[in-house]
Structure 1
Amino acid sequence: MKFDLHTHHDRCGHATGKIEDYIQAAIRAGITTIGISDHSPYFAHELDQPQPTIAMAKSQFPQYIAEVLSLKEQYRDRIEVLLGVESDYYSEHADLYSSSYEPYPFDYIIGSIHQTRGVSIFNRNRWKGLDNEKQTEEKKYYYELIRQSAESGMFQVLGHIDAMKGYYPQFADIPGADAEIDEALKAIAKQDIAIEINTSGKTKDCGGWYPSDAILKRALHFGVDVTFGSDAHVPERVGDEWELVQQRLREIGFTRWVFYRQKQKIIVPL
């Protein structure tokens, strides 16, 4: 069984292709279960689509759900299509986001931190002028938010949990946040949810997957389940490096990975 839970399409404004293009790419790649998980709207913003190159409009959300469900039925004899979404996590708006998802039959929701203190985690400039102490503070705060997102009960998967290294590879070497990383991993294990191995890091300056082997080893220690997500923003990346991830997880010591159907964990032996 070969699955990929993390794909985008043109509604988010920074991916190319329609949902059906990703489904067809998954079939060509030998994927048996494909998850559609475009970026959630900014539900708390007064505007319908405040950032058209980052996330879909609130008014597009029901159309997105309907299209995925229609394609799920259309392709049911060829591939399993799962309804997902990659949700931003803002602690102050958690209730609003949760209630916005509640009416829909999601198979899973990916919770991702894309901003801290109102600044994108991918913004290179956020690190300029910060001394070592401030850098450590920012790293700790990032993992505190990841812990909170796990404890929110809103998500089945947490996305790219060290993606702050994407355009600042030095992030991985900032010391002093080991306790916060461990607390986040313990919260994930306690909630019985999963982290994704996300292969899109190879397209960023860091040049590798999210999360690092060091974090995956800690995740295994704490009993955290893992899943796979290409985070494809072009159809050609669906399932990218799936076999390599499978092999590396075995080497680290994992014996299984998971995906979600109707928010129920499906265990797949490695």
Structure 2
Amino acid sequence: MKFDLHTHHFRCGHADGNIRDYIEAGIAAGLSVIGISDHTPYFGDPEEHPFPHIAMAKKEFANYVEEVLKLKQEYEGTIDVLLGIESDFFPAHAEVYRKVLAQYPFDYIIGSVHSVSEVSIFNKNRWKNQNKQDKIATKEAYYSLIQQSARSGMFQILGHIDAMKGNYPAFSDIPADAAIDETLRVIAENQIAIEINTSGKTKLSGGWYPSDAILERALHLGVEVTFGSDAHTPKRVADEWDDVAKRLKEIGYSEWVYFKNKQKVIVPL
């Protein structure tokens, strides 16, 4: 059984295609389940649409939910369309996000850390003047935010948990094993899944998020996994699904999961 829980569309301002395009691509890829999970608006900002090339406008949020629910009904019996969302995690605004997201019938919410100290995790310029200790502190701050997101109770899935390597591959070599292990323990304790996200191939790092080394430690610590292409164009729906399934088996996983009505569904590998 094939599924993909992480897809975007034109409303976020940096993806191509409409929601129907992604659903049709999912059918063509042989998916039984496709999750639509575009970026939340910036609910913590007073402006209506502060970052038009990063996230949707606040006024579009209800329209997004309505469209997914209509398509869910339309495609019933052909493919199971799930209503998801990828939510940023900002500790200062977490309660605002929690209140807004609770108003809608999401099947699941992906929690993703996209910025550390108000700088995008994909901004490679942040590393230019950092010494070794600065880099360690930045990496530990990143994983501290992921831990906080896991403890928040807001999410069923945590997105791309080593994506800070995306445009700075040397991130993986910064020593912070204790922070990563503690993060995985917190995720396991809170019964949240992490995604294997194949969009790393679109960044300088290539490959998937997270690394095989993190997945091996996650298995040891009892963390469950799911799949998300993080497609920003329909042709990437289910991208490398079979390769990921094969690698997970080699690592030692026997199952992965997805969420419907915020309830976990176990899928054997």
Q: Cα offset for 1:112?
A: 0.2
Deviations along 1:194-238, one digit per CA (max 9) or x if unpaired, are: 000000001110011000000001100100000000000000000
> Residues of 1 paired with 2:54 and 2:17: CA distance?
15
Report the secondary structure of 2:15's partner residue.
Answer: coil
1:220 lines up with 2:194 in the alignment: no
Q: Which residue of 2 aligns with 1:34?
A: 34
Q: Cα offset for 1:178?
A: 1.1
Q: 1:95-174 maps to which residues of 2 (within 5 A)?
A: 95-174=95-174
> Residues of 2 paired with 1:255 and 1:189: CA distance?
17
| 2:251 aligned partner, one-letter code | I
| Structure 2: stretches of 5+ with no match in the other structure | none
| Structure 1: stretches of 5+ with no match in the other structure | none
Q: Cα offset for 1:103?
A: 1.1
Deviations along 1:56-78, one digit per CA (max 9) or x if unpaired, are: 01110000000000000000121
Report the secondary structure of 2:108's partner residue.
Answer: coil
Q: Which runs of 4+ in 1 moved over 2 A?
A: none
Report the secondary structure of 2:67's partner residue.
Answer: helix
Matched length? 269
Report the secondary structure of 1:48's partner residue.
Answer: coil
Deviations along 1:32-62, one digit per CA (max 9) or x if unpaired, are: 1000000000001111110100000111000
| 1:165 aligned partner, one-letter code | K
Q: Which residue of 1 aligns with 2:238?
A: 239
Q: Cα offset for 1:193?
A: 1.1
Instruction: Output the TM-score relative to the length of structure 2.
Output: 0.99
Q: Which residue of 2 aligns with 1:25?
A: 25
Q: Cα offset for 1:266?
A: 0.2
> Residues of 1 paired with 2:183 and 2:97: CA distance?
21
Q: Which residue of 2 aligns with 1:78?
A: 78
Deviations along 1:98-134, one digit per CA (max 9) or x if unpaired, are: 0000111100000000011110000010101100000
> Residues of 2 paired with 1:174 and 1:181: CA distance?
11
Q: Which residue of 1 aligns with 2:52?
A: 52
1:178 lines up with 2:171 in the alignment: no
Deviations along 1:144-187, one digit per CA (max 9) or x if unpaired, are: 10000000000000000000000000000011x11111111111
> Residues of 1 paired with 2:123 and 2:181: CA distance?
25
Report the secondary structure of 1:84's partner residue.
Answer: strand
> Residues of 1 paired with 2:178 and 2:128: CA distance?
25
> Residues of 1 paired with 2:28 and 2:132: CA distance?
47
> Residues of 2 paired with 1:259 and 1:199: CA distance?
16
Q: Cα offset for 1:79?
A: 0.3
Q: Cα offset for 1:258?
A: 0.2
Deviations along 1:214-269, one digit per CA (max 9) or x if unpaired, are: 00011001000000000000000000000000000000000100000000000001
> Residues of 2 paired with 1:57 and 1:78: CA distance?
31
> Residues of 2 paired with 1:13 and 1:103: CA distance?
24
